[in-house]
């Protein structure tokens, strides 16, 4: 997948093994060079799951490409150390469940921002403006004018005013039954200050999943191509003012096309004629990839259809010259990872390709497959690297650094285990430590409840440091071992095996509730929120992300931390003045758990004056509930109350009273009189 800012979807990998299997020697599609070319090689590093959609961009201005993705209701960022290794994940909350994101300078300050599409009927986009140091500000949200989901977004200058515009593709809306299929894209022309002109919906077609940008008719204006359902590609030629002229739809395969849906589309130059070509993933129901060679007037030659030999569903692609021969190659992620999670087809330079080479074959019954794939120079050596997403049972992030032409690395020696010691009974979480070994760039640690380490293992993880803190283990005997892995992915000998028995683990806390007190305040005053856990927070505390659904009416901190050993923590909710009663939602999120509470802000109360005149039996008084009126017989008194207040008047000593005026007993005796004050009022009380 190659876009103005390259994207990746859910990235998931566990193993460090690189396995390349050359499947043949003749070019795919015919007409190309017959000699096989060098297959690229890679070294691999693994990271925890980052999100369902990923992009690369230099977010801290150090010249190295960083990673960003949508992780639930946040955008997650990992910064590059310059050598292609990535730091800790940092989350920045957005307005809801993110679907896709794009990076660009939307407010003209020279720093990369993040724009996230939100799967919500009301809010369509969250803009996180960048600070230039790898951090981002709180989101600015934009409405969902289409009413549909938003699986794809691109940022591009459509009207040549040097300001980024946005195009969002829509597929379906299932917010209420029945679901409605989308036919439109949304175009938002940028103002260059982080705002946009009113959104416009343009009808295009069904099943839109990905967008690519180019100038296919070479008129100097940006055009769009969009992958659709039933083997279709939609083409929109730009007019240069943010509008388009739709061209006849391309159908890539003949015959029955139902279910042959496009899952990716990219722009390339496969035959070196400087005219833009297309590659389209039509992996569903056929495992095919379509190559369309551009003519230069906006049309394309009939598609070359490449069928994956193992029917492994190549549903995403990344285009680059991976083996350094000057021709553009295809890297395909394979949704069925049984034979490999990725394959590369070396280009012949004429629009045809060599047979595929498979990479990253997982262990049997792993239940994982390749997902989104992106190509970028991640370590600054001018070679095309890959960030590969793998979906399924073991989500994570694999970064493949191109090592084509690099001399083989030494095989690591066996590490020496340090702790836990043989037959130790450590508390949980258990910390594992071992010696560093030369030539190792990462280590595989295995922990199991059987001494022969039978599948499935309790822990089977790759780490870059010579230590690991394990997740909660069962309180029974376990065994552990470690081996080193070099930068080429070659594993060394296993260490000796040690056994240990972890102590019983304390219960893992989770977010239980979020509450506000008071639940109703006058706008401009504050309320207090409280997050509560199911059990005491662990060492280091327990972080909870916070979000206000209406930041104009009330703001909350980005997060609150429950201190170690505590079960709750409070935070301030600052409200603004309102003209009408405004209900808003305070959302707390921790891991997969989300809790909400409602706070209502009211305008300042209006008041009115009540005047009571008491006559009749001397020595008695007339009083009110709520307090305010206290009038002795033979006099009058006044008090102010909020309009809408229910007021009860009565005489001392339980005397009967004949009430008249705003509160009347109709000439009869009554011990009390109750009415609602709606404005200035007078009451006469004749105490009997």
Q: Is CATH 3.30.2020.30 the classification given to domain 417-500?
A: no
Q: What pLDDT, in 10s, does the model give residues 480-503?
A: 999 999 877 788 999 999 999 999
Residues 368 and 337: beta-carbon distance below 8 Å: yes
Tokens 């340090």 locate to 418
Residue 455: band (very low, low, confident or very high) from pLDDT cuts 50, 70, 90: confident
The domain segmentation of the chain, as residue ranges, is 417-500, 511-602, 607-687
Q: Give yes or no for a contact between 253 and 305, defined as CB atoms under 8 angstroms apart.
A: yes
- Whole-angstrom distance, CA of residue 150 vs CA of residue 158: 19
Query: Which are the contacts of 170, defined by CB distance < 8 A and separation ≥ 6?
Result: 146, 148, 149, 150, 151, 182, 184, 185, 186, 208
Q: Six-digit token pair at 492?
A: 């060394």
Give the torsion sign (CA, 280, 284, 285, 288). positive
631-674: pLDDT as tens digits: 999 999 999 998 889 999 999 999 999 999 999 999 999 999 99
- The answer for residues whose C-beta is within 8 angstroms of residue 338's C-beta and 6 or more apart is 310, 312
Reported as a single tens digit per residue, the pLDDT across 165-213 is 999 999 999 999 999 999 999 999 999 999 999 999 999 999 999 999 9
User: Do the Cβ atoms of 130 and 153 come closer than 8 Å?
Assistant: no
Backbone angles phi, psi at 653, to 5 degrees: 65, 20
Question: Vertex 530, ends 528 and 535: CA angle to 5°?
Answer: 165
CA separation (Å) from 546 to 57, 128, 228, 497? Answer: 26, 16, 37, 45
Domains 511-602 and 607-687 share a fold: yes
| pLDDT tens digits for range 298-353 | 999 999 999 999 999 999 999 999 999 999 999 999 999 999 999 999 999 999 99
pTM of the model: 0.61
Give the model's pLDDT for residue 371: 87
In the prediction, which pLDDT does 26 show?
A: 33
Q: Which fold has domain 511-602?
A: Immunoglobulin-like (2.60.40)
Using the predicted structure, report yes or no on whether residue 517 has a pLDDT greater than 90. Answer: yes
Residues whose CB falls within 8 Å of the CB of residue 495, separated by 6 or more in sequence, listed in order: 414, 415, 416, 417, 434, 481, 482, 483
Strand spans (E) along 464-581: 467-469, 478-485, 491-494, 498-500, 511-517, 520-522, 526-533, 542-548, 554-555, 559-562, 568-575
Rounded Cα distance, 544 and 564, in Å: 13
Here the tokens at position 529 are 């929120």
Task: Indicate the class that CATH gives domain 607-687.
Answer: mainly beta
pLDDT above 70: residue 27: no
DSSP state of 338: T
């Amino acid at each position: 997948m190659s876009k103005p800012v390259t994207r990746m979807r859910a990235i998931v990998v566990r193993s460090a093994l690189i396995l390349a299997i050359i499947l043949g020697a003749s070019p795919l599609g015919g007409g190309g060079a017959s000699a096989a070319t060098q297959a690229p090689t890679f070294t691999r590093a693994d990271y925890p799951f980052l999100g369902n959609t990923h992009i690369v961009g230099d977010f801290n201005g150090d010249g190295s490409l960083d990673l960003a993705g949508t992780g639930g209701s946040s955008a997650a960022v990992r910064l590059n150390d310059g050598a292609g290794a990535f730091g800790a994940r940092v989350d920045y909350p957005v307005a809801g469940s993110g679907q896709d994101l794009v990076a660009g300078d939307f407010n003209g300050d020279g720093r990369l921002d993040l724009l996230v599409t939100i799967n919500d009927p009301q809010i369509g986009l969250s803009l996180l403006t960048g600070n230039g140091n790898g951090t981002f500000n709180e989101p600015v949200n934009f409405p969902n004018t289409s009413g549909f989901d938003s699986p794809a977004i691109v940022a591009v200058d459509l009207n040549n005013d040097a300001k980024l515009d946005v195009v969002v593709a829509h597929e379906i809306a299932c917010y209420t039954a029945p679901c409605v299929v989308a036919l439109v894209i949304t175009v938002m022309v940028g103002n260059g200050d982080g705002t946009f002109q009113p959104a416009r919906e343009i009808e295009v077609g069904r099943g839109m999943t990905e967008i690519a940008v180019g100038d296919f008719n070479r008129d100097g204006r940006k055009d769009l191509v969009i992958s659709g359902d039933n083997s279709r590609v939609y083409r929109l030629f730009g007019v240069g003012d943010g509008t388009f002229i739709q061209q006849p739809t391309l159908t890539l395969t003949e015959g029955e096309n139902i279910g042959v849906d496009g899952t990716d589309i990219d722009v390339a130059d496969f035959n070196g004629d400087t005219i833009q070509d297309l590659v389209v993933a039509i992996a569903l129901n056929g495992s095919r990839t379509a190559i369309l060679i551009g003519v230069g007037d906006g049309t394309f030659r009939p598609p070359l259809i490449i069928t994956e030999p193992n029917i492994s569903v190549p549903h995403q692609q990344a285009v680059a010259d991976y083996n350094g021969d000057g021709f553009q190659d295809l890297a395909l992620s394979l949704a069925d990872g049984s034979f490999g999670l990725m394959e590369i087809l070396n280009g012949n330079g004429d629009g045809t390709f060599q047979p595929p080479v498979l990479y990253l074959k997982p262990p049997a019954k792993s239940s994982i497959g390749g997902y989104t794939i992106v190509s970028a120079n991640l370590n600054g050596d001018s070679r095309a690297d890959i960030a590969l997403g793998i979906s399924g049972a073991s989500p994570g992030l694999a970064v493949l650094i191109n090592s084509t032409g690099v001399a083989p690395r030494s095989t690591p020696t066996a590490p020496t285990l340090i702790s836990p010691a043989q037959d130790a009974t450590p508390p949980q979480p258990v910390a594992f430590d071992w010696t560093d070994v030369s030539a190792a760039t990462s280590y595989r640690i295995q922990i199991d409840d059987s001494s022969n380490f039978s599948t499935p293992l309790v822990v089977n993880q790759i780490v870059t440091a010579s230590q690991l803190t394990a997740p909660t283990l069962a309180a029974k005997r376990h065994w552990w071992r470690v081996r080193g892995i070099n930068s080429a992915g070659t594993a060394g000998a296993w260490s000796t095996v040690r056994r240990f028995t972890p102590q019983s683990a304390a219960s893992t806390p989770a977010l239980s509730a979020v509450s506000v007190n008071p639940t109703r305040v006058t706008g401009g005053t504050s309320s207090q929120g409280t997050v509560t856990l199911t059990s005491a927070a662990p060492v280091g505390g327990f972080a909870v992300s916070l979000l206000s659904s209406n930041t104009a009416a009330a703001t909350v901190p980005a997060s609150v931390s429950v201190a170690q050993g505590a079960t709750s923590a409070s935070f301030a909710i600052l409200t603004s003045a309102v003209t009408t009663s405004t209900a808003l939602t305070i959302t707390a999120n921790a891991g997969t758990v989300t809790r909400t509470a409602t706070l209502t802000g009211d305008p300042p109360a209006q008041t009115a004056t009540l005047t009571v005149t008491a006559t009749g039996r001397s020595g008695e008084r007339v009083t009110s509930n709520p307090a305010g009126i206290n009038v002795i017989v033979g006099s009058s008194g006044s008090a102010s109350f909020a309009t809408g207040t229910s007021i009860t008047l009565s005489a001392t000593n339980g005397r009967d009273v004949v009430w008249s005026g705003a509160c009347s007993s109709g000439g009869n005796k009554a011990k009390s009189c109750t009415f609602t004050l709606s404005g200035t009022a007078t009451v006469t009380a004749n105490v009997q």
